[in-house]
């Protein structure tokens, strides 16, 4: 074959086709937000490819330009760079491969443990499940905190807000819940019970200091809870786009568990910083600002996020614990009132109680669970049903008792009992109590076993009772756990065991 024939053969094999690309150029760049000229076919929430590995999301579709938020490294970008649309929605990796890992807002590992072998991806923004596909909340999520499990119960599929001033222990309550679930998972999975459903946790840190996130991860690792947890980190040092997208990425990871007949718990820490990040993006995009300079759709931002938590009929559940920070205890501010109206109740932490040493500093009067006792096991209902009323009454009487010294016998009795309940509910951080041990200590309170004690001795005595049951009456605790209700026979066993413990105390 001559050279000419070879060239002709090569030309014959050549196929030519045109490719259409929708491209544009960066006109302005500031604080993780880019204004782009020329993206005529861009769609809302579409992924936009920037030079390098940076990804953008089209948020503002103007007549002449498109406003994009940029995720990932933005240091290398400059005005005049070419960008193009992808025709895809932003997706993050999901699945059990993420458990035990720390990832960024895009699901990329940031813990130095190598790549994540995730088989599936879910879009970051998904429409929440409809009413028909939902199921009523009736299975408990045990926090391991006696005050919450007995008075403000949380159920699988519920959204319970944790709200309070800075430094009142909001994150501690959320992390204690994760630690308690890990403890329950270990016992349940080791038992080989086919009906046992573990709860996997997702902790989303938005706008937190890196040192705080590292401390939280260290706490989870030390307790062996990290293997059941995914940590999504969008620290304060990250750009605002990452902080804005992180809770939605965490929700997508949680939805995978829910869709695949498993149960998950997601913690958003915290949504006040999330709203601030969204406000910053909106102001740079020149969207009109409303109350407190927040954009008009800040309510929709949080409602579409929290509505994704549900218990699905025939599938699993996703329970959400959003955290919101108040200023000087003002729960009537814009973001707190928004989220209170979206969630199914709130746990309000009071600064005064915290400073008095009542920890967790749960305010009984302002805290509520709209799911109520349907998310409790019957045994907790039996021993703790009257506690919330007694405690609320105690707080009211204590306020009046400051002004008058002459108190009748009945009032003195109520004050004495209330102060004992307050003392019993004090609990150190990182030490969740199993539900069956909570039932035993509350039963002893209800039946007057702490009445003769000095108030300062109640915490140590309750601990001694729990240890007695854990070491010598394990069969009774197992029976409480499996029956989940107290019948006459079981109550007689608890009474006999508590009497036996009381003799050891006197000795």
Final residue in a domain of this structure, among 326, 343, 376:
376
- Is residue 16, in this structure, part of any structural domain at all? no
Please give the pLDDT value at position 85. Answer: 92
Domain boundaries, position 467: 383-506
- Catalytic residues, which ones? 370
pLDDT band at 72 (very low <50, low <70, confident <90, very high): confident
pLDDT of residue 91: 94
Give percent above pLDDT 70 in the chain.
98
Domain boundary among 317, 347, 376: 376
Look at residue 404 and tell me whether its pLDDT is greater than 70.
Answer: no
Asked if residue 179 and residue 41 are part of one domain, the reply reads: no
DSSP run (H or E) holding 260: none
Q: Is 171 annotated as a binding residue?
A: yes
Domain stops at, among 319, 344, 376: 376
Tell whether 47 and 129 lie within a shared domain.
no
Is 482 known to sit in a ligand binding site? no
The predicted-structure confidence for 427-486, as pLDDT tens digits, reads as follows 999 999 999 999 999 999 989 898 888 889 999 999 999 999 999 999 999 999 888 889
- Residues whose CB is less than 8 angstroms from the CB of residue 467 and which lie 6 or more positions away in sequence, other chains included: none
* Residue 417 annotated as lining a ligand binding site: no
The pLDDT of residue 453? 87
> What pLDDT was estimated at residue 22?
84
Claim to verify: residue 106 and residue 80 sit in the same structural domain: no
Task: Return the pLDDT at 283.
Answer: 93
Classify the C-alpha dihedral 187-190-193-195 as positive or negative. Answer: positive
Q: Kindly give the residue spans of alpha helices, DSSP state H, lying in 425-472.
A: 435-446, 458-472
Q: Are residues 420 and 476 in the same domain?
A: yes
Q: Report whether 166 belongs to an annotated binding site.
A: yes
Structural tokens at position 146 = 């006696």
Question: How far apart (Å, rounded) are the C-alpha atoms in residues 12 and 15?
Answer: 8
Residue 129 pLDDT > 70, yes or no?
yes
Is 169 annotated to bind ligand? yes
Whether residues 350 and 442 fall in one domain: no
Same domain, 77 and 96: no
188 occurs within a structural domain: yes
pTM score above 0.75: yes
Dist. CA 286–CA 362, nearest whole Å: 40
List b or e across 153-189, with b for residues whose CB sees 16 or more CB atoms inside 10 angstroms: bbbbbbbbbbbbbeebbbbbbbbbbbbbbbbbbeebe
Let me know whether 176 and 288 are in one domain: yes
Asked if residue 11 belongs to a domain, the reply is no
State CA 306 to chain mean position distance.
Answer: 10
Per-residue model confidence (pLDDT) at position 405: 65
* Calpha distance 286→30 (Å, rounded): 12
* Domain presence at residue 72: yes
Question: Is 205 in the same domain as 99?
Answer: yes
- Tell me the pLDDT tens digit for each residue of 181-232: 999 999 999 988 888 999 999 999 999 999 999 999 999 999 999 999 999 9
Average the pLDDT over 123-140 and give the result.
Answer: 94
- In 3D, which of 381, 369, 373 has the Cα closest to residue 480? 381
Predicted confidence at residue 505, as pLDDT, reads: 79
Residue 206 belongs to domain with CATH number: 3.40.50.300
* pLDDT per residue as tens digits for the range 40-54: 888 999 999 998 888
State how far the Cα of 366 lies from the Cα of 163, in Å rounded to an integer. 10
Residue 206: predicted pLDDT? 97
Say yes or no: 139 and 245 in one domain.
Answer: yes
Q: Annotated binding residue at 290?
A: no
Number of domains observed in the structure of the chain: 3
| Structural domain contains residue 5 | no
Question: Is residue 500 in some structural domain?
Answer: yes
What does the pLDDT look like over 354-399, one tens digit per residue?
999 999 999 988 999 998 788 899 999 999 888 888 888 888 888 7
> What confidence score (pLDDT) does residue 507 get?
56
Which pLDDT band, with edges at 50, 70 and 90, does 18 fall under?
A: low
- At 218, is the secondary structure helix, strand, or coil? helix
Over 80: is that where the pLDDT of 506 sits?
A: no
Q: Kindly state the tokens that stand for 329.
A: 């205890």
Domain harbouring 28, CATH code = 2.40.30.20
430 is in an annotated binding site: no
For the chain, how long is the longest CA-to-CA vector?
120
Are 335 and 427 within one domain?
no
The mean pLDDT value of the chain amounts to 92
- Would residue 123 count as lying in a domain? yes
Pair (372, 410) in one structural domain = no
Q: Is residue 20 over pLDDT 80?
A: no
pLDDT exceeds 90 at position 76:
no
Residue 39 lies in a domain: yes
CATH number at residue 488: 1.20.150.20
Q: Are 62 and 146 part of one and the same domain?
A: no
The whole-number pLDDT of residue 13 equals: 80
């Amino acid at each position: 074959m001559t050279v000419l024939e070879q060239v002709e053969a090569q030309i014959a094999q050549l196929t030519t086709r045109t490719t259409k690309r929708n491209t544009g150029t960066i006109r302005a760049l500031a604080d993780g937000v880019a204004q782009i000229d020329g993206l005529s076919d861009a769609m809302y929430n579409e992924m936009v490819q920037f030079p390098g590995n940076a990804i953008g999301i089209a948020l503002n579709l103007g007549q002449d330009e498109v406003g994009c938020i940029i995720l990932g490294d933005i240091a290398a970008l400059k005005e005049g760079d070419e960008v193009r649309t992808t025709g895809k929605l932003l997706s993050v990796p999901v699945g059990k491969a993420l458990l035990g890992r720390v990832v960024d807002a895009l699901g990329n590992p940031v813990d130095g443990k190598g790549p994540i072998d995730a088989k599936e991806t879910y879009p970051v923004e998904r429409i929440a499940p409809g009413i028909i596909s939902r199921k009523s909340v009736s299975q408990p999520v045990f926090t391991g905190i006696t005050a919450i499990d007995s008075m403000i119960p949380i159920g699988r599929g519920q959204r319970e807000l944790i709200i309070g001033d800075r430094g009142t222990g909001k994150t501690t309550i959320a992390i204690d819940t994760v630690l308690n679930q890990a403890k329950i998972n270990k016992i349940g999975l080791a038992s080989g019970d086919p009906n046992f459903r573990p709860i996997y946790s997702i902790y989303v840190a938005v706008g937190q200091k890196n040192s705080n996130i590292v401390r939280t991860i260290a706490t989870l690792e030390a307790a062996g809870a990290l293997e059941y947890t995914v940590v999504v980190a969008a620290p304060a040092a990250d750009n605002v786009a990452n902080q804005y997208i992180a809770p939605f990425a965490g929700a997508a990871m949680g939805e995978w568990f829910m869709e695949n007949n498993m149960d998950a718990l997601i913690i958003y820490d915290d949504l006040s910083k999330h709203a601030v990040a969204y406000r910053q993006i909106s102001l740079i995009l020149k969207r009109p600002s409303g109350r407190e300079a927040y954009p008009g759709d800040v309510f929709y931002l949080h409602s579409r996020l929290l509505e994704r938590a549900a218990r699905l009929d025939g599938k699993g559940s996703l329970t959400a614990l959003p955290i919101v920070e108040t200023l000087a205890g003002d729960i009537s501010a814009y973001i707190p009132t928004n989220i209170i109206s979206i969630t199914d109740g709130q746990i309000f932490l009071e600064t005064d109680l915290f400073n008095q040493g009542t920890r967790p500093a749960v305010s009984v009067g302002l805290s509520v669970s709209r799911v109520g006792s349907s998310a409790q096991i019957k045994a907790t209902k039996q021993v703790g049903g009257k506690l919330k009323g007694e405690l609320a009454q105690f707080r009211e009487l204590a306020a009046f008792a400051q002004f008058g010294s002459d108190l009748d016998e009945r009032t003195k009795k109520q004050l004495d009992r209330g102060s004992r309940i307050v003392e019993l509910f004090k609990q150190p951080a990182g030490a969740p109590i199993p539900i069956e041990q909570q039932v035993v200590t509350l039963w002893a309170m209800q039946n007057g076993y702490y009445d003769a004690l000095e108030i300062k001795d109640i915490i140590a005595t309750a601990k001694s009772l729990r240890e007695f049951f854990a070491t010598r009456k394990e069969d009774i605790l197992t029976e409480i756990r499996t029956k989940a209700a107290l019948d006459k026979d079981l109550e007689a066993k608890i009474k006999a065991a508590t009497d036996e413990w009381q003799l050891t105390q006197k000795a």
